[in-house]
C-alpha cells in the first residue's frame, strides 16, 4: 500500500494533448528504510531552471527545487515500497512496484512514462526506459529530486525514532558509522533483513 502520495494543483486539461511522466526512484542501495519513487508531469509553460540528477545536487539545492517542482508541474506523485515489501519481493521488484504506484497515483493519466534506468515497471501507458535519464530528461530529473527529498525526510524521521544508528548522517547507507552501530545495537525494524550485511549480523546473533 502506497503512502505519502500528494499532488500539485493544476489547471484544466486539454484531452487531445499527450502527457509524459518522468519516473525515478531513491533508496535502492541503503540497508534501511523504504524505497521511494516519484512520477512527474512537467508543465512546458512553467519551466524550472536547474533540474538535474538529484545525486549531483547539494541537499540545499534539492530542498529548493522540490517545492518548485510541486508547484509548477501539471501533476506529481511520490510513493513507496516498504521495508517489508523489499524483504519479501527483493529490492528490484519493490522498486518497480513503487514506480508503478507513483504513476498510478497521478491525477493526470500519462500516455508515456520515461523511466530512469533499464528496468521498466508494468504500467497502463507506454514506457520508455532511459539509461542515465535523471541527467538527460528533465521530467526524470524532477522525479529523482522529489523521490530523494521525500526519502531523506523519512530517514530524518527514523533518526528521531532510532537515534542510536545515525540515520540523519548516512541516510541508511552502509557507511563505516552505520556498520559500527549495527554491530553494536543490532538491526531495528527499519533495517532490510534481506540485505547481506544485515542478514549476516542476524545469522551471527
Average pLDDT over residues 141-146: 98
Q: For position 204, what pLDDT does the model report?
A: 77
Mean per-residue pLDDT of the chain: 91
Check whether 16 has a pLDDT greater than 60: no
Give the angle 145-116-178 at the CA atoms, nearest 5°: 60
Structure confidence by residue, pLDDT tens digits, 45-74: 999 999 999 999 999 999 999 999 999 999
Label residue 8 by pLDDT band (50, 70, 90): very low
The helix (H) or strand (E) run that includes residue 75 is strand 75-81
Burial of 164 (0-12, 13-18, 19+ CB in 10 A): exposed
Label residue 1 by pLDDT band (50, 70, 90): very low
Residue 130 φ/ψ region, left for φ over 0, alpha for ψ in the -120 to 50 degree band, beta for the rest: beta
Check whether 194 has a pLDDT greater than 50: yes
Burial of 168 (0-12, 13-18, 19+ CB in 10 A): middle
Count the Cβ atoms, other than its own, within 10 Å of residue 158: 21
As annotated, the residues of the chain forming the CATH 3.30.420.10 domain(s) are 20-159
Query: How far is the C-alpha of 104 from the C-alpha of 156, rounded, in Å?
Result: 27
Residue 119 contacts residue 135 (beta carbons within 8 Å): no
Average pLDDT over residues 105-111: 96
Label residue 203 by pLDDT band (50, 70, 90): confident
Q: What's the grid cell of residue 113?
A: 512514462
Task: Tell which CATH classification among 1.10.10.10, 3.30.420.10, 3.40.50.150, 3.10.129.10 matches the domain 20-159.
Answer: 3.30.420.10
Q: Which of 1-10, 108-117, 126-135 has the lowest mean pLDDT?
A: 1-10
Q: For position 61, what pLDDT does the model report?
A: 97
Structure confidence by residue, pLDDT tens digits, 92-101: 999 999 999 9
Query: How far is the C-alpha of 155 from the C-alpha of 180, rounded, in Å?
Result: 18
Amino acid at each position: 500500500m502506497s503512502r505519502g502520495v500528494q499532488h500539485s494543483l493544476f489547471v484544466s486539461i486539454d484531452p487531445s494533448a499527450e502527457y509524459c511522466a518522468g519516473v525515478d526512484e531513491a533508496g535502492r542501495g541503503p540497508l534501511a528504510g523504504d524505497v521511494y519513487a516519484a512520477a512527474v508531469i512537467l508543465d512546458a509553460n512553467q519551466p524550472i531552471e536547474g533540474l538535474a540528477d538529484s545525486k549531483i545536487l547539494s541537499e540545499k539545492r534539492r530542498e529548493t527545487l522540490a517545492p518548485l517542482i510541486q508547484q509548477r508541474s501539471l501533476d506529481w506523485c511520490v510513493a513507496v515500497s516498504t521495508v517489508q515489501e523489499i524483504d519479501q519481493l527483493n529490492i528490484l521488484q519493490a522498486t518497480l512496484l513503487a514506480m508503478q504506484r507513483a504513476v498510478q497515483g497521478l491525477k493526470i493519466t500519462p500516455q508515456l512514462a520515461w523511466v530512469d534506468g533499464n528496468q521498466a515497471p508494468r504500467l497502463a501507458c507506454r514506457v520508455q526506459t532511459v539509461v542515465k535519464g535523471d541527467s538527460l530528461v528533465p521530467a526524470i530529473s524532477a522525479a529523482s529530486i522529489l523521490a530523494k527529498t521525500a526519502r531523506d525526510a523519512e530517514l530524518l524521521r527514523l533518526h528521531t525514532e532510532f537515534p542510536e544508528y545515525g540515520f540523519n548522517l548516512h541516510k541508511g547507507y552502509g557507511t563505516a558509522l552505520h556498520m559500527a552501530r549495527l554491530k553494536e545495537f543490532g538491526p531495528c525494524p527499519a533495517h532490510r533483513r534481506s540485505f547481506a550485511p544485515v542478514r549476516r549480523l542476524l545469522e551471527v546473533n
